[in-house]
C-alpha cells in the first residue's frame, strides 16, 4: 500500500468514515436483493486535482467546486475536485444520492454533477450567551451544517447576559461573567470546535460584540463600562474615554485572535444608540472627559474615535485581521474603512433591508446578509418558503429572499459575499435549538449555494427538502416538520430513526427487524481504514453471518487517486460499517480524549464514566483487574452505528451495553475478549454473564453529564 | 365530639381548632366545604380532615388547621386594605426593575419548590439529608399494589435522585410512611378519582396520606420535588414541610394529535411521564383525523391499511394497551377521540362511509372529509366500530368530536344529490337538521356500544345541535379570556358540563414568553396561558363546578417526534398550575417562574449557590405581600410572626433575590432615623413657628442626609442586585421630590424673609411690621396636610414593616451563627 496525499489527509479520511456512517445510518437494511438488472457499485474513486492536503483551517477563498460521475454501466463512481474542500461537498452530495427503493434495497442514482457554490459565505449564527449551548450541540450543529453545505459558523460567543468565552489572560471575565462555572467553554472546547469545523470545511468566525452588548464584561473588568443613568438594567456599553480600556481590548483580542485562526473576526457594533444616550450622554464624568479630549458633546465623534482606536488595537493585536461588523457600525459615512465587511441585519421590511444593501455596497463595502434569516423569530406555519406580506417583523421568507436582489450594478452585487441564518439565543438552548433551526436553515442553505435560476419557488424545492429533512431525521438529527402534516418513509420506527435501538427488551417486530442489521456488520475495532493497521482489539460478533473481512483500499502509483472497495455486501452500494473505538483513561478526567469523540461517543463516554464512577470499588469485575495492574487500565468504547448497540471493552472483557426501550435501564453484558487471551484464560469460561444492570436517569438530568444525553433520549 | 388529632406538624398543631369550637354557622360551612355530609373524607384548601383517636379509620372530622386557614368571614379592615394597596403598589413598582431589557433574572429558581403549587404548603426550618441508599418508602400492604410498586420504583430509581452521590457513612436512614385508605384499584383511574393528599415531612417523621392511590401518586410527585441537590455537601436534601393538597379542577389534560404527524409510542410514554410530573391526569388522544388513521381496528382492518400513512405508522392493539397501562400507573386517564362526521378523510378504508363531495362546478373533489349520514350502513358501521373502541379504551369518557363539519357540509352534503334526496325523503330542510339527526343517532349508538360512557363533544355540537345534557362540551373557540369565560358561563347555566381548551392551543407557537406574556399580533387566548381561569365568571359555586377543567392541545400539523416535547413543555406546565392550584395563590406568573424554572431543570449549575446571601431578607417578603391580596387579615399578621427564615410559599433561593445583610440593615435604620427626624422637625417647625433656625438645618442638613441615605441604599443594594428592595429608593425619591422641595418653595416664595431681619414678616397696609405666621397658619396647615399625607402614610408603613421584621434586622449576627440549612451568608 502506498501512502499518499489523499490517504494521509485526515480531512479525507474522516470525511470518508463519516460518509459511510451517514449514508446508511437508520436504513433498515433487509436482505431483499435489488433488481437483477442493476449494476453493483463497487468502488469510489477520489481525485484531488491540486494534490495537497491543507494543514490549516479553511479560509474565505477556498474552492468548493466538485464534480461527481456515476455512470450507469460501470461499477466505479468518481469524484473530482480542485481542493479537499470540494471533496467534502462532493461526498455529501454522493451520500444524498443513495436512497432506499421500494423493494428495500439501497440504490444510488446514476448521475453527472458539476457543482460550485453561489456565495462563499454561507453561515449560521449561534448565540451562546443568552442561553449557554453545550459544546455537543455546537458540534452536532456543525455536522448538520456540513450536510447542508454551509461553511461559516458565526459564533456569537458573548453578550450582555453571559460571558462563556474562556480568557486565560483575564480569567475574571469568565469567572464573573459566565452564568456559572459550568456554563462556560474551555480553550480545549473551542479548539475542538475549530478542528471539528475544519474537518467539515467550515470556518469558525467568532464575534466579540463591542462597544454595546458588553454587560457581562463588567464583573471581570471593572471600569471598562460606562456608568449609565436612568436605567433599570445594568450598563452594557464600553467607556471609550479611558485609554486603559484600549490597552485592555488590545490584550484581550490578542489572545482571542490567537485562538481563532480565521482571517475574519466579527467585532459587533450593533444597537448602540440607546446605550449611547443612557451611558455616554447622561454620564457626567464621561461628558467631562469628552470635553477635555475635545469631542465637545458629540457622541458621534466619540463613537468614531472609539472605532479608530479599537481597530488600531486590533491591528496591533494581529496584523492583517479582516473585520466584520454589524451594519450600524458602518452606517455613519467614513466611520470605518472600505475593507470592512458589513453584516446587514436590520430592516423591518424587505425594502429597507435592500436599501441598506445597496447603500453599503455603493460605498464599496463588502456585505453579508441576515435580515430575512432571523430563524429565532418563530411563528406558526411553514415560514420557510414565502414572505407573508412585505413586512418581515416576523421575518420568514427564508427561501425566497435573495441577497443580491437589490438595486445596484453588477459590481455592487458582487460585493455581497453571502449570508447567515441567525439563531439568537433568547428562547433556545440545548433542548430546542436543533429542531428550531433545522430544516428551516436548509432553505437558507439552498438560497446561498444554488443557482437562483434553478431554485425559484419553494413548491419546487419542497419534495427535495422533504427528503432532505427525512434524511436528517434518519441520520439521527432532530429536524422538525415544517410543511404541514406529512410523514417520513419508514425507517426504524415511525418518524424517528432510533439510534439507541435495542432488541433486548423490545417485543415489537420493528425492533426485531432493526436488529437484523446486526448480522451485516463486521465488528472491527481500532481499525485504521486507510493504513490497514492491525486492530488492537476486535470484538466478537455474536451472530453467525458475521463477515470479518476488512475493506480494501488501493491507491494508484501516482499517489493521487484512492480506490476504496467498501465491503462486499449484496447491495447495490457496498459499504461496511466500522466501529470506532477510542481509548479512554478510565481513572480520571476524560476530558481530553473525550473531546476527540464524535457526539455520540461522547454521550456514551458519559454513561461509561457514570457507571464507572458510581460502581467503582463496588462492582466486582473491576476489582481484580485493577489490583493486578493499577493505573493503566483502559476502556474501549464503541458503537454499532446501525443498530445503536454500544460496546465497552476492558482488558480481557467486552461489555455489551444495551438500553431498554424507554431508556430507563441500561444493561451490561460482558464477554471475554477474544483478542486478549492472556487474561481470558484466567477468567471463568461462561460465554456471557450479566454483569450489572443500572438505571439511567431520565428527563431530569439536563445538566448532569451532558445535555446531549437527554436529547437523544427525547427522540427515541 | 371526640378530640381531634392533627396529622400535621407541631407548628400547625399548636394553632389547630377543634371542630366543636366553631360556631354553628361555621360548622355548617365547614361541612359543606369538606363534603363531609356523605361520610366521605376529603381534603380541600379550606380544611383537612383527620381521624379521631377513638374511632380510627372510620370517622372523619373536618378541622381547620390553624392560621393558615383563616375563616373566610375575616375580610381585611379598611385600614388593612389601605396597607395592602400600598404594599401591592410598591411591589408592582419593584417588578418593573429587572435584568437586561427588564427580563427575569437568569438564575431565579427555587430549591425544593413545588410545581404546581399545592393548595397549602408551609416550609419548616430544616432540611433533611437523604441518601438514595438509605431511603425507604413504606407503604405497608400497598407495596403489593402495582401502581404503588411501579411508581415508587420509577421515582426512587429515576426521578428523585437523578445522579449518584458519594455514599457517606453518616447518612441517616429516612423513611416515608405512606398511608392509603382505600384498596388498590383494579382498573384504570375513574373520572371521579380522588387526588388529594397530605404530606408532612419533619425530622421526627414523615408521612404521606391519601385516600386513594391516585392521591398518593400526586403526593409522591410533590415529595420528589421537595428533594434538591446541594453541591456544597454533595448530597440530596429534602425540605421539611407541611402540605395539604388537592386539585382545583378534576380534568387536567393534554391532547396529542397522532394523525397529522405520527408519534412513536415512546414519545407518548415520555409525554405521559411529563404529565405525571405536572400532576395532569387526562391524556386526550386525538388518534385519527382527515390525514391519517393510525388506530388499528380488528373488525375493519382496511381502515388503517388504507388510512394510515404507512404500515409502520400505526398503533397496534398491544401499543394501545401499553399506553393505557403506562398511563394508569401514572394516574392518567386515556380519553380517545374519534372525530365524526367531519375530519374523517382517513376513514376511506370502509367503502361508502365517507360521502362524495363536489366543488362549485359539480366536479367531484378528491378529498372527501364527511361521513354519509344518509346511509343506514354508516350507523351499523359506527355501532360495530365503537364497540371495538370501547373495548380498547376503558376510560369513562369517550370524545366524539363533531367540530368543523360546516367546512365540508356545502361540498359533501349540499352538493351531493344522494344526500339531498335523503333529506327530501325525511323532510329535512336544512343540513343542520341532517346533522342533528346524525348526532342523535350517534349518541344512541355510542351509548349502547360503549355501555353508556360519558360523551364529549367539541363546542359546535352544543352551539348547533344540542347534545344530551349528560354530554360534556369541549370549548375550543374564543379569542379572549373573557370570551372563553362567557362561553363557559352560558353553557354551564344550562346545566351542561364543560371542558376548556380554548386558552391552551400550544401548537400555535410564537416568539416570546407566551406562557405568561401577551404577544404582539396574537389574539389574547393564544398567549398568557398562565392567566386563563375558565371558572372565573359570575355564577354560583354549583355552576362553576360544572367547568370540569381544561385540556392543553398540541395539534399535530407542525410537530412530530423531533420537536413535540420541546414545544409542549414547559409551556403546558403553566396550564397545569392553573388547573391544579388555588387561584388566589397563583395570581402572578413572575412569582411562579422560579418554581417553574426549577421544574424545568432542577439541577442547574450548582456552583451558582456558592455566593448566595441570607434568606431572611428574602422573606422580608415583597413577594409575600401579594398574598394579602387574598383578603386575609390573619394571613397578613402571620406573615410577620414566623421566625422561620424559610417561611414563604414563594421561596426564592436565587442569589439575586436575596438581600445582603449588612448594607441594607444599616441603610434601613438610617432611613428610619431620618424619617423620624424629619417628622419631628416638621412638627417642631409647626409648633414653634417658622423659625429660620429650624428651617435652615432642615434645608442644609436633613435634605443632604436623606440623599446620603438614598445613596447608601442604592450602593448597598446594587452590590447584591437586590432589586426587590427598591421600594426604599422609591420612597426616598417620593420624599425628596414630592415632599420637602415644593413645600419649601411654597413657604419661601410666600413667606420669605424679604428684609433679611430673621423674622418672617410682612408689611401691613398701615406700614407696621406684623408677624405673619399666625395669619398664614391655615394656609400652611392645608399645604402640610396635603403634602405630608403620602409620605406620612409611607413612613408609617415603613415603621410597621421594620417593626415586624425587627428580628431580622437585630438578629442577623445570631442568625449567621445558627448556620441554618438553605441559608448562606455573605460575609
Locus of grid cell 411508581: B151
The residues facing B553 across adjacent strands are: B255, B505
Q: Does B307 lie at the interface with A, CB-CB under 8 angstroms?
A: no
Nearest CA-CA distance, residue B566 and chain A, Å = 6
| pLDDT (mean) for A63-88 | 90
Percent of chain B with pLDDT over 70: 59
What is the grid cell recorded at A468?
Answer: 432532505
Q: Does A180 lie at the interface with B, CB-CB under 8 angstroms?
A: yes
CB contact under 8 A, A487 and B261: yes
3-state secondary structure B485-530: HHHHHHHHHCCCEEEECCCCECCCCCCCCCCCCCCCCCCHHHCCHH
Q: Does B310 lie at the interface with A, CB-CB under 8 angstroms?
A: yes
- Chain A residues near residue B318 by CB distance under 8 angstroms: 507-508
What is the helix (H) or strand (E) element at residue B80, kind and residue range? helix B78-95
Locus of grid cell 407518548: B268
The residues facing A692 across adjacent strands are: A668
Q: Which pTM does this prediction carry?
A: 0.71
Query: What does the pLDDT read at residue A620?
Result: 28
| pLDDT (mean) for A559-584 | 27
Instruction: Tell me the HSE value of B65 on the side-chain side, using a 13 A CA sphere.
Output: 27
Kindly report the number of other CB atoms within 10 A of residue A214's CB atom.
24
Query: What does the pLDDT read at residue A348?
Result: 75
Task: Decide which of B813 and B202 is more confident.
Answer: B202
Query: What does the pLDDT read at residue A40?
Result: 74
Task: Decide which of B50 and A373 is more confident.
Answer: A373
DSSP 3-state of B116? coil
Query: What does the pLDDT read at residue A105?
Result: 73
Nearest CA-CA distance, residue B610 and chain A, Å = 10
Q: Does A702 lie at the interface with B, CB-CB under 8 angstroms?
A: yes
Residues 97-116 of B with CB under 8 A from A: 97-102, 106-107
Residues 214-243 of A with CB under 8 A from B: 215, 232-234, 236
Distance between CA atoms of residues A206 and A152, nearest Å: 10
Tell me the per-residue pLDDT of A156-205, one tens digit each, with 9 for 90 and over.
999 998 999 999 999 999 988 888 777 889 899 899 999 999 999 999 99
Asked whether this complex has an ipTM greater than 0.90, the answer is no
Query: What does the pLDDT read at residue B54?
Result: 32
Query: What does the pLDDT read at residue B107?
Result: 66
As a 3-state breakdown, chain B gives helix, strand, coil percent values, each rounded to 5, of 45, 15, 40
Average pLDDT of chain A to the nearest whole number: 71
Task: Decide which of B664 and B260 is more confident.
Answer: B260
What is the grid cell recorded at A199?
Answer: 474537518
Tell me the per-residue pLDDT of A26-36, one tens digit each, with 9 for 90 and over.
776 654 555 56
Q: Which residue numbers of A are catalytic?
A: 271
Residues 31-90 of A with CB under 8 A from B: none
Among the listed ranges A68-72, B661-665, B795-799, which one has the minimum average pLDDT value? Answer: B661-665
Distance between CA atoms of residues B306 and A293, nearest Å: 80
Tell me the per-residue pLDDT of B698-741, one tens digit each, with 9 for 90 and over.
555 555 666 666 565 555 444 433 333 445 555 555 555 555 55
Query: What does the pLDDT read at residue B440?
Result: 94
Residue of B nearest to A437 (CA): B563
Q: Which of B404, B538, B565, B678 is catalytic?
A: B404
Query: What does the pLDDT read at residue B331?
Result: 97
Nearest by CB to B607, from A180, A432, A699: name it. Answer: A180
> What angle separates helix B661-688 from helix B777-804, to the nearest 10 degrees?
150
Locus of grid cell 404529565: B275
Tell me the per-residue pLDDT of B311-340, one tens digit each, with 9 for 90 and over.
888 999 999 999 999 999 999 999 999 999
Tell whether the model's pLDDT for residue A148 goes beyond 80.
yes
Nearest CA-CA distance, residue B166 and chain A, Å = 8
Query: What does the pLDDT read at residue A515?
Result: 24
What dihedral angle (degrees, nearest 10) is formed by the CA atoms of B816, B820, B821, B825? Answer: -10
Residues 556-575 of B with CB under 8 A from A: 556-563, 565-567
Residues 624-683 of A with CB under 8 A from B: 661-662, 664
Tell whether the model's pLDDT for residue B472 goes beyond 50.
yes
- Spell out a b/e string for A496-533, using b for 16 or more CB atoms within 10 Å of the CB, else e: bbbbbbbbeebebebbeebbbbbebbbbbbbbebbeee
A61 in Cβ contact with A262 (< 8 Å): no
Q: Does A482 lie at the interface with B, CB-CB under 8 angstroms?
A: yes
Locus of grid cell 471609550: A240
Query: What does the pLDDT read at residue B658?
Result: 32
- DSSP letter string, A536-590: S--PPPSSTT---PPPEEEE-TTS--EEEE----SSSB---PPPP-EEEESSS--
A419 in Cβ contact with A382 (< 8 Å): no
Average pLDDT of chain B to the nearest whole number: 73
Task: Decide which of B371 and A700 is more confident.
Answer: B371
CB contact under 8 A, A481 and B558: yes
Tell whether the model's pLDDT for residue B488 goes beyond 90.
yes
A654 in Cβ contact with A540 (< 8 Å): yes
Active site residue B404: yes
Nearest CA-CA distance, residue B559 and chain A, Å = 6
- Chain A residues near residue B264 by CB distance under 8 angstroms: 493-496, 716
Distance between CA atoms of residues A12 and A45, nearest Å: 12
Tell me the per-residue pLDDT of A469-510, one tens digit each, with 9 for 90 and over.
999 888 878 889 998 899 887 654 433 333 322 222 222 222
CA angle at residue B381 from B379 to B383, to 5 degrees? 70
Residue among B283, B193, B278, B215 at smallest CA distance from B579: B278
The residues facing B621 across adjacent strands are: none
CB contact under 8 A, B562 and A698: no
Nearest CA-CA distance, residue B466 and chain A, Å = 32
Tell whether the model's pLDDT for residue A144 goes beyond 70.
yes
Distance between CA atoms of residues B786 and B465, nearest Å: 63
Tell me the per-residue pLDDT of B105-144, one tens digit each, with 9 for 90 and over.
776 777 888 999 998 888 877 788 888 888 889 998 898 9
Percent of chain B with pLDDT over 90: 41
Tell whether the model's pLDDT for residue B572 goes beyond 60.
yes
- Chain A residues near residue B560 by CB distance under 8 angstroms: 480-481, 487, 495-496
Whole-Å CA distances, A554 to A70, A75, A524, A557, A706: 19, 15, 19, 10, 40
Tell whether the model's pLDDT for residue B93 goes beyond 80.
no
Tell me the per-residue pLDDT of B59-80, one tens digit each, with 9 for 90 and over.
333 333 332 333 333 333 444 4
Among the listed ranges A7-16, A106-115, A558-567, B240-249, which one has the minimum average pLDDT value? Answer: A558-567
Distance between CA atoms of residues B143 and B332, nearest Å: 20
Q: Which residues contact B779 (CB under 8 A, 6 or more apart)?
A: B750
Query: What does the pLDDT read at residue B465?
Result: 75
Task: Decide which of B176 and B47 is more confident.
Answer: B176
Residue B266: which pLDDT band, with cuts at 50, 70 and 90?
A: confident
Distance between CA atoms of residues A320 and A324, nearest Å: 13
Q: Does B96 lie at the interface with A, CB-CB under 8 angstroms?
A: yes
CB contact under 8 A, A715 and B292: no
H-only helix segments in B162-212:
none
Distance between CA atoms of residues A107 and A96, nearest Å: 11
Tell whether the model's pLDDT for residue A600 goes beyond 60.
no
Q: Which residues contact A671 (CB under 8 A, 6 or more apart)?
A: A540, A653, A654, A655, A656, A687, A688
CB contact under 8 A, A182 and B605: yes
Residue A622: which pLDDT band, with cuts at 50, 70 and 90?
A: very low
Q: Does B321 lie at the interface with A, CB-CB under 8 angstroms?
A: no
Among the listed ranges A499-503, A663-667, B284-288, which one has the minimum average pLDDT value? Answer: A499-503
B257 in Cβ contact with B554 (< 8 Å): yes
Q: Does A606 lie at the interface with B, CB-CB under 8 angstroms?
A: no
- DSSP letter string, B254-283: EEEETTTS---HHHHHHHHHHHHHTT--EE
Task: Decide which of B228 and B96 is more confident.
Answer: B228
- The conformation of residue B725, written as its DSSP 8-state character, comes to G
Query: What does the pLDDT read at residue B152?
Result: 93
Whole-Å CA distances, A15 to A471, B64, B740, B775: 18, 71, 77, 97
Q: Does A716 lie at the interface with B, CB-CB under 8 angstroms?
A: yes
Query: To probe the interface with A, which of B511, B519, B554, B711 has the most A CB atoms within 10 Å?
Result: B511
Amino acid at each position: 500500500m502506498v501512502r499518499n496525499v489523499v490517504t494521509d489527509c485526515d480531512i479525507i479520511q474522516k470525511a470518508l468514515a463519516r460518509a459511510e456512517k451517514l449514508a446508511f445510518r437508520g436504513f433498515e437494511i433487509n436482505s431483499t436483493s435489488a433488481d437483477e438488472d442493476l449494476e453493483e457499485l463497487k468502488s469510489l474513486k477520489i481525485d484531488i486535482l491540486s494534490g495537497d492536503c491543507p494543514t490549516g483551517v479553511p479560509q474565505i477563498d477556498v474552492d468548493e467546486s466538485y464534480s461527481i460521475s456515476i455512470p450507469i454501466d460501470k461499477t466505479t463512481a468518481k469524484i473530482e475536485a480542485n481542493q479537499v474542500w470540494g471533496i467534502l461537498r462532493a461526498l455529501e452530495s454522493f451520500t444524498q444520492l443513495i436512497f432506499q427503493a421500494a423493494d428495500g434495497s439501497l440504490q444510488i442514482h446514476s448521475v453527472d454533477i458539476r457543482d460550485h457554490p453561489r456565495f462563499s459565505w454561507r453561515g449560521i449564527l449561534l448565540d451562546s450567551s443568552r442561553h449557554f449551548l453545550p459544546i455537543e450541540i455546537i458540534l452536532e450543529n456543525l455536522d448538520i451544517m456540513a450536510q447542508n453545505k454551509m461553511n461559516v459558523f458565526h459564533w456569537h460567543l458573548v453578550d450582555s447576559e453571559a460571558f462563556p468565552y474562556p480568557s486565560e489572560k483575564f480569567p475574571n471575565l469568565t469567572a464573573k461573567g459566565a452564568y456559572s462555572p459550568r456554563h462556560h467553554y474551555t480553550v480545549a472546547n473551542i479548539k475542538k470546535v475549530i478542528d471539528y469545523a475544519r474537518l467539515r470545511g467550515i470556518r469558525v468566525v467568532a464575534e466579540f460584540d463591542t462597544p454595546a452588548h458588553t454587560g457581562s464584561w463588567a464583573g471581570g473588568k471593572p471600569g471598562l463600562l460606562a456608568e449609565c443613568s436612568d436605567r433599570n438594567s445594568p450598563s452594557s456599553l464600553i467607556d471609550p474615554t479611558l485609554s486603559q480600556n484600549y490597552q485592555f481590548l488590545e490584550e484581550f483580542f490578542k489572545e482571542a485572535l490567537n485562538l481563532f485562526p480565521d482571517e475574519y473576526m466579527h467585532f459587533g457594533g450593533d444597537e448602540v444608540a440607546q446605550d449611547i444616550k443612557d451611558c455616554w450622554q447622561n454620564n457626567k464624568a464621561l461628558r467631562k472627559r469628552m470635553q477635555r479630549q475635545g469631542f465637545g458633546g458629540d457622541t458621534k465623534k466619540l463613537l468614531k474615535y472609539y472605532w479608530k482606536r479599537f481597530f488600531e488595537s486590533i491591528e496591533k493585536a494581529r496584523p492583517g485581521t479582516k473585520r466584520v461588523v454589524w451594519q450600524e457600525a458602518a452606517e455613519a459615512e467614513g466611520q470605518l474603512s472600505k475593507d470592512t465587511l458589513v453584516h446587514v441585519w436590520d430592516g423591518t421590511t424587505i425594502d429597507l433591508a435592500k436599501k441598506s444593501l445597496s447603500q453599503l455596497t455603493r460605498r464599496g463595502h463588502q456585505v453579508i446578509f441576515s435580515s430575512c434569516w432571523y430563524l429565532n423569530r418563530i411563528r406558526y406555519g411553514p415560514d420557510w418558503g414565502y414572505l407573508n406580506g412585505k413586512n418581515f417583523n416576523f421575518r420568514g421568507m427564508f427561501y425566497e429572499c435573495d441577497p443580491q436582489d437589490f438595486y445596484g450594478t453588477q459590481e455592487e452585487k458582487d460585493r455581497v459575499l453571502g449570508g447567515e441564518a441567525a439563531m439568537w439565543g433568547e428562547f433556545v438552548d440545548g433542548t430546542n435549538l436543533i429542531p428550531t433551526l433545522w430544516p428551516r436553515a436548509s432553505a437558507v442553505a439552498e438560497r446561498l449555494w444554488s443557482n437562483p435560476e434553478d431554485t425559484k419557488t419553494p413548491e419546487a424545492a419542497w419534495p427535495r427538502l422533504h427528503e432532505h429533512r427525512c434524511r436528517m431525521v434518519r441520520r439521527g438529527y432532530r429536524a422538525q416538520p415544517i410543511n404541514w402534516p406529512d410523514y417520513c418513509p419508514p425507517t426504524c420506527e415511525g418518524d424517528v430513526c432510533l439510534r439507541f435501538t435495542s432488541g433486548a427488551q423490545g417485543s415489537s417486530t420493528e425492533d426485531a427487524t432493526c436488529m437484523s442489521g446486526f448480522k451485516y456488520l463486521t465488528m472491527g475495532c481500532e481499525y485504521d481504514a486507510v493504513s490497514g493497521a492491525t486492530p488492537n482489539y476486535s470484538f466478537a460478533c455474536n451472530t453467525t453471518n458475521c463477515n470479518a473481512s476488512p475493506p480494501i483500499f488501493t491507491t494508484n502509483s501516482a499517489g493521487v487517486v484512492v480506490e476504496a472497495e467498501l465491503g462486499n455486501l449484496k447491495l447495490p452500494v457496498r459499504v461496511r460499517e466500522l466501529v470506532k473505538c477510542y481509548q479512554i483513561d478510565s481513572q480520571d478526567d476524560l476530558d481530553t480524549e473525550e473531546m476527540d469523540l464524535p457526539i455520540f461517543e461522547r454521550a456514551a463516554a458519559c454513561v461509561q464514566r457514570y457507571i464507572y464512577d458510581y460502581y467503582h470499588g463496588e462492582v466486582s469485575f473491576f476489582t481484580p483487574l485493577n489490583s493486578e495492574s493499577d493505573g493503566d487500565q483502559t476502556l474501549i468504547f464503541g458503537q454499532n452505528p446501525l443498530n445503536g448497540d454500544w460496546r465497552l471493552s476492558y482488558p480481557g472483557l467486552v461489555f455489551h451495553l444495551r438500553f431498554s426501550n424507554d431508556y430507563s435501564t441500561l444493561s451490561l453484558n460482558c464477554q471475554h475478549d477474544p483478542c486478549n487471551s492472556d487474561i481470558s484464560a484466567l477468567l471463568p469460561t461462561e460465554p456471557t454473564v450479566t454483569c450489572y444492570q443500572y438505571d439511567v436517569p431520565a428527563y431530569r438530568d439536563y445538566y448532569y453529564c451532558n445535555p446531549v444525553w437527554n436529547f437523544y433520549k427525547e427522540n427515541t | 365530639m371526640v378530640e381531634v388529632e392533627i396529622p400535621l406538624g407541631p407548628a400547625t398543631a399548636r394553632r389547630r381548632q377543634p371542630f366543636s369550637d366553631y360556631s354553628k354557622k361555621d360548622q355548617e360551612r365547614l361541612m359543606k366545604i369538606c363534603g363531609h355530609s356523605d361520610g366521605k373524607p376529603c381534603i380541600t384548601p379550606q380544611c383537612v380532615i383527620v381521624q379521631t383517636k377513638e374511632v380510627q379509620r372510620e370517622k372523619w372530622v373536618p378541622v381547620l388547621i390553624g392560621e393558615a386557614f383563616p375563616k373566610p368571614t375575616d375580610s381585611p379592615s379598611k385600614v388593612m386594605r389601605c396597607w395592602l394597596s400600598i404594599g401591592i403598589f410598591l411591589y408592582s413598582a419593584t417588578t418593573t426593575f429587572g435584568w437586561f431589557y427588564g427580563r427575569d433574572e437568569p438564575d431565579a429558581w427555587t430549591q425544593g419548590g413545588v410545581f404546581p403549587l399545592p393548595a397549602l404548603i408551609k416550609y419548616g426550618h430544616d432540611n433533611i439529608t437523604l441518601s438514595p441508599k438509605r431511603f425507604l418508602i413504606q407503604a405497608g400492604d400497598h407495596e403489593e399494589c402495582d401502581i404503588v410498586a411501579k411508581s415508587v420504583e420509577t421515582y426512587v430509581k429515576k426521578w428523585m435522585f437523578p445522579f449518584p452521590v458519594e455514599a457517606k457513612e453518616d447518612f441517616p436512614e429516612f423513611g416515608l410512611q405512606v398511608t392509603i385508605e382505600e384498596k388498590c384499584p383494579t382498573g384504570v383511574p375513574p373520572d371521579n378519582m380522588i387526588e388529594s393528599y397530605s404530606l408532612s415531612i419533619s425530622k421526627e417523621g414523615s408521612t404521606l396520606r391519601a385516600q386513594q392511590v391516585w392521591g398518593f401518586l400526586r403526593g409522591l410527585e410533590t415529595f420528589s420535588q421537595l428533594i434538591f441537590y446541594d453541591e456544597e455537601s454533595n448530597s440530596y436534601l429534602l425540605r421539611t414541610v407541611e402540605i395539604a393538597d388537592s386539585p382545583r379542577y378534576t380534568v387536567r389534560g393534554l391532547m396529542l394529535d397522532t394523525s397529522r404527524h405520527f408519534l412513536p409510542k415512546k414519545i407518548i410514554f415520555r409525554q405521559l411521564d411529563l404529565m405525571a410530573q405536572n400532576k395532569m391526569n387526562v391524556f386526550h388522544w386525538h388518534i385519527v383525523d382527515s390525514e391519517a388513521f393510525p388506530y388499528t381496528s380488528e373488525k375493519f382492518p382496511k381502515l388503517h391499511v388504507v388510512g394510515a400513512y404507512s404500515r409502520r405508522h400505526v398503533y397496534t392493539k398491544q401499543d394501545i394497551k401499553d399506553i393505557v397501562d403506562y398511563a394508569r400507573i401514572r394516574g392518567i386517564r386515556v380519553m380517545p377521540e374519534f372525530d365524526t362526521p367531519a375530519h374523517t378523510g382517513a376513514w376511506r378504508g370502509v367503502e361508502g362511509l365517507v360521502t362524495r363531495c363536489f366543488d362549485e362546478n359539480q366536479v367531484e373533489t378528491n378529498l372527501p372529509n364527511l361521513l354519509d349520514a344518509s346511509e343506514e350502513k354508516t350507523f351499523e358501521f359506527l355501532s360495530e366500530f365503537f364497540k371495538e373502541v370501547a373495548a380498547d379504551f376503558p376510560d369513562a369518557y369517550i370524545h366524539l368530536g363533531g367540530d368543523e363539519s360546516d367546512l365540508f357540509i356545502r361540498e359533501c352534503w349540499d352538493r351531493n344529490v344522494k344526500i339531498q334526496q335523503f333529506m327530501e325523503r325525511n323532510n329535512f330542510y336544512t343540513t343542520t337538521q341532517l346533522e342533528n339527526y346524525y348526532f342523535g343517532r350517534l349518541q344512541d349508538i355510542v351509548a349502547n356500544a360503549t355501555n353508556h360512557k360519558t360523551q364529549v363533544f367539541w363546542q359546535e355540537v352544543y352551539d348547533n345541535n344540542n347534545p344530551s345534557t349528560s354530554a360534556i362540551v369541549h370549548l375550543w373557540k374564543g379569542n379572549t379570556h373573557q370570551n372563553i369565560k362567557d362561553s363557559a358561563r352560558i353553557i354551564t347555566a344550562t346545566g351542561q358540563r364543560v371542558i376548556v381548551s380554548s386558552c391552551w392551543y400550544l401548537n400555535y407557537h410564537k416568539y416570546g414568553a407566551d406562557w405568561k406574556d401577551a404577544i404582539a399580533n396574537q389574539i389574547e387566548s393564544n398567549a398568557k396561558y398562565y392567566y386563563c381561569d375558565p371558572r372565573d365568571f359570575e355564577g354560583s359555586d354549583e355552576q362553576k363546578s360544572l367547568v370540569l377543567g381544561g385540556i392543553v392541545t398540541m395539534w399535530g400539523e407542525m410537530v412530530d417526534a423531533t420537536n413535540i416535547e420541546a414545544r409542549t413543555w414547559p409551556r403546558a406546565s403553566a396550564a397545569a398550575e392553573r388547573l391544579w392550584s388555588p387561584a388566589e395563590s397563583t395570581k402572578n406568573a413572575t412569582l411562579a417562574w422560579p418554581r417553574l424554572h426549577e421544574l424545568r431543570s432542577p439541577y442547574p449549575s450548582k456552583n451558582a449557590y456558592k455566593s448566595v446571601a441570607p434568606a431572611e431578607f428574602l422573606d422580608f417578603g415583597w413577594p409575600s405581600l401579594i398574598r394579602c391580596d387574598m383578603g386575609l387579615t390573619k394571613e397578613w399578621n402571620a406573615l410577620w410572626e414566623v421566625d422561620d427564615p424559610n417561611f414563604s410559599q414563594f421561596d426564592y433561593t436565587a442569589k439575586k433575590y436575596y438581600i445582603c445583610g449588612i448594607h441594607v440593615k444599616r441603610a434601613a435604620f438610617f432611613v428610619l432615623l431620618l424619617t423620624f427626624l424629619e417628622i419631628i422637625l416638621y412638627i417642631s417647625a409647626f409648633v414653634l413657628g417658622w423659625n429660620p433656625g429650624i428651617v435652615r438645618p432642615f434645608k442644609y442638613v436633613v435634605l443632604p442626609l436623606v440623599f446620603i441615605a438614598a445613596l447608601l441604599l442604592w450602593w448597598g443594594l446594587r452590590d447584591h442586585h437586590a432589586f426587590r428592595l427598591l421600594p426604599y429608593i422609591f420612597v426616598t425619591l417620593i420624599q425628596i421630590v414630592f415632599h420637602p422641595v415644593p413645600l419649601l418653595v411654597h413657604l419661601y416664595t410666600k413667606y420669605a424673609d424679604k428684609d433679611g431681619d430673621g423674622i418672617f414678616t410682612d408689611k401691613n397696609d398701615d406700614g407696621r411690621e406684623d408677624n405673619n405666621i399666625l395669619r398664614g397658619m391655615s394656609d400652611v396647615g392645608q399645604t402640610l396636610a396635603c403634602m405630608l399625607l403620602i409620605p406620612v402614610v409611607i413612613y408609617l408603613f415603613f415603621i410597621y414593616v421594620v417593626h415586624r421584621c425587627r428580628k431580622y434586622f437585630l438578629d442577623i449576627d445570631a442568625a449567621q451563627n445558627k448556620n441554618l440549612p438553605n441559608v448562606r451568608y455573605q460575609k
